[in-house]
Amino acid sequence: MIVKDKVSWVRLLFHFRGSSFMETWPRILTVTVVAVVVTYVELYYHIQEYTLTTTPFTLVGVALGIFLGFRNNASYDKFWEGRKLWGALVNTSRSLTRQACFVIDSSHDAEEVQHFREVFVKRLIAYAHALRCHLRNEDPAEEIKKFLSLEDRASVVESKHRPLAILQLLGRDLAVARDRRWLSEHSFPFMDAQLNELTNILGACERIKNTPIPFSYSVLIHRIVASYCLSLPFGLVETTGVLTPIVVLLISYAFFELDAIGDEIEDPFGLQPNDLPLNAISRNIEINLLELIDDPDRPKPLRPVDDILM
């Protein structure tokens, strides 16, 4: 995610890093070159047979703008839902840690209960890192090794679904606490409900990642945008004359950028500059949870690198 202090309006006009322009400029350049050729041929050779009016482009342009707007709204809905889910992960992790610290009875076997709490909370941290790696198709072995025992780490890494394997360990922890009467029968359902919430967050994130906008829908939009921009000079040259390439440049920039933005934010869990900063969020979860159990070995929060927070 791009994190910048307030930037002046003028600087924003010339700020291209992190924008979709770095991806779309070849398309825009191609369409502009076509507009230059069409304008030159029509004006120099006075060819009027292939000149169109602006009416069809006005009608199609309005419809295309609405079409792109709906498509971008669908992509942003996925982006915003992903951010809400990771916010829920932060809150649920904090709640579970607080409950582990104050709901689990430590009046008996104080040292053993304290060890149990530390193991439970570190498994929660491992879950956050494993979920991030799961959504980004990364190997979480390096991230989770300091939070799990050798036995647990081996079972998690061998599992085909690492976050789910860690949830299984957390559920087993609650069952052990209940059986040893560290956790009362009244408190157990509340903590178990928080684990269910972690499961719901996992499933919802997988739904966002594994359900792209239908391919035929994306293909249709790309084709319409490309066809509209390439044919645009034929409808403008009679009206705008030598300024046709400039007008085509501005219009194609708007349409190609909207198209590219919809593609970019469709998967909010990726590693592009405008995707969600899952590294920073999972690091904050780690810091918060270690602080709640008074663990001094806490990392520092991640900072933006070149205005990008990963």
Could you read off the pLDDT of 269-296 as tens digits, one per residue?
A: 988 888 899 999 999 999 999 999 988 8
Candidate ranges 4-13, 109-118, 171-180; pick with highest mean pLDDT: 171-180
Please give the Cα distance from 251 to 256 (Å, whole number).
9
DSSP H or E segment with residue 304? none
| Exposure letters 205-227 (e unless 16+ CB within 10 A, then b) | bbebbeeeeeeeebeebeebbbe
Please report the pLDDT score of residue 280 as a whole number: 93
Give me the mean pLDDT over the 51-55 stretch. Answer: 70
Domain ranges of the chain: 9-74+217-264, 76-211+276-292
DSSP class per residue in 44-62:
HTT--TT---SHHHHHHHH
Please report the pLDDT score of residue 181 as a whole number: 87
Q: Greater confidence, 237 or 280?
A: 280
Please give the Cα distance from 239 to 225 (Å, whole number).
22
Residue 101 CA, distance from chain mean position: 32
Global confidence as pTM: 0.88
Q: Is the pLDDT of residue 218 over 90?
A: no
- Nearest Cα residue to 236 out of 226, 224, 248, 221: 248
Query: Could you tell me if 194 and 95 are in contact, meaning their C-beta atoms sit under 8 angstroms apart?
Result: yes
Query: Could you tell me if 290 and 300 are in contact, meaning their C-beta atoms sit under 8 angstroms apart?
Result: no
Candidate ranges 15-29, 52-66, 101-115, 219-233; pick with highest mean pLDDT: 219-233
Please report the pLDDT score of residue 124 as a whole number: 95
- Sign of the CA dihedral 106, 108, 110, 114? negative
What one-letter code names the amino acid at 116? F
Please give the Cα distance from 105 to 246 (Å, whole number).
73
- Nearest Cα residue to 251 out of 32, 20, 19, 11: 32
113-159 pLDDT, tens digit per residue, is: 888 889 999 999 999 999 999 999 998 888 888 899 888 888 898 88
Please give the Cα distance from 14 to 20 (Å, whole number).
13
Residue 276's contacts (CB-CB under 8 Å, 6 or more residues apart) are 1, 79, 82, 83, 86, 268, 269
Give me the mean pLDDT over the 17-27 stretch. Answer: 80
Burial label, 173 (beta-carbon count in 10 A; 0-12, 13-18, 19+): buried
Q: Is the pLDDT of residue 260 over 70?
A: yes
Query: Could you tell me if 35 and 249 are in contact, meaning their C-beta atoms sit under 8 angstroms apart?
Result: yes
Mean pLDDT taken over the chain: 87
Give me the mean pLDDT over the 169-193 stretch. Answer: 88
